């Protein structure tokens, strides 16, 4: 059950980030008179640094959510949730920490810290996937 809760948390975190971006764009349109088509793909629209970092953090979430979802849902479908239970919440914690670090800034040390949190997630993906591919239920 913890694995599914972690997956829901990861999904909710990803949604929260896009809602922040959506709210900022709404403010830009309503208050500042920006055109609604200012954010079409491929168009580099200026944004405050924090918003730009949240956009990048959101993309990072989108890149990793399918991997995490596949592992957790496959474990549940295979009756092997015991493989993911010990690790899934740590994936969520590392994701939130990575995002918050991303939001703070982009100095050398912040990027290194962010990379550490991402490496933790990748390592946990590998551990969980290896557990699912083995014949054992952990």
Q: Which of 103, 129, 94, 120 is nearest to 10 (CA)?
A: 94
Query: What range does the domain containing 97 cover?
Result: 2-133
CA atoms within a 13 Å half-sphere pointing along the CA-CB vector of 112: 3
Q: How confident is the model over 60-116, as pLDDT tens digits?
A: 999 999 999 999 999 999 999 999 999 999 999 999 999 999 999 999 999 999 999
Could you tell me if residue 117 is inside a domain? yes
Q: How confident is the model at residue 135 (pLDDT cuts 50, 70, 90)?
A: low
Residue 23: inside a domain, yes or no? yes
Higher pLDDT, 137 or 47: 47
In-domain check, residue 138: no
- Structurally, the chain folds into a number of domains equal to 1
Residue 64: inside a domain, yes or no? yes
The CATH number linked to 93 is: 1.20.120.550
The whole-model pTM stands at 0.90
């Amino acid at each position: 059950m913890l694995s599914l809760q972690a997956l829901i948390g990861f999904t909710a975190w990803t949604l929260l980030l896009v809602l922040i971006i959506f709210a900022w764009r709404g403010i830009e349109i309503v208050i500042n008179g920006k055109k609604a088509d200012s954010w079409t793909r491929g168009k580099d629209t200026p944004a405050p640094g924090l918003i730009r970092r949240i956009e990048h953090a959101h993309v990072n979430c989108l890149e990793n959510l399918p991997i995490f979802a596949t592992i957790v849902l496959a474990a549940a479908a295979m009756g092997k949730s015991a493989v993911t239970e010990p690790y899934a919440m740590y994936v969520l914690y590392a994701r939130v920490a990575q995002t918050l670090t991303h939001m703070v800034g982009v100095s050398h040390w912040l990027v290194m810290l962010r990379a550490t949190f991402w490496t933790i997630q990748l390592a946990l993906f590998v551990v969980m996937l290896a557990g699912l591919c083995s014949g054992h239920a952990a």
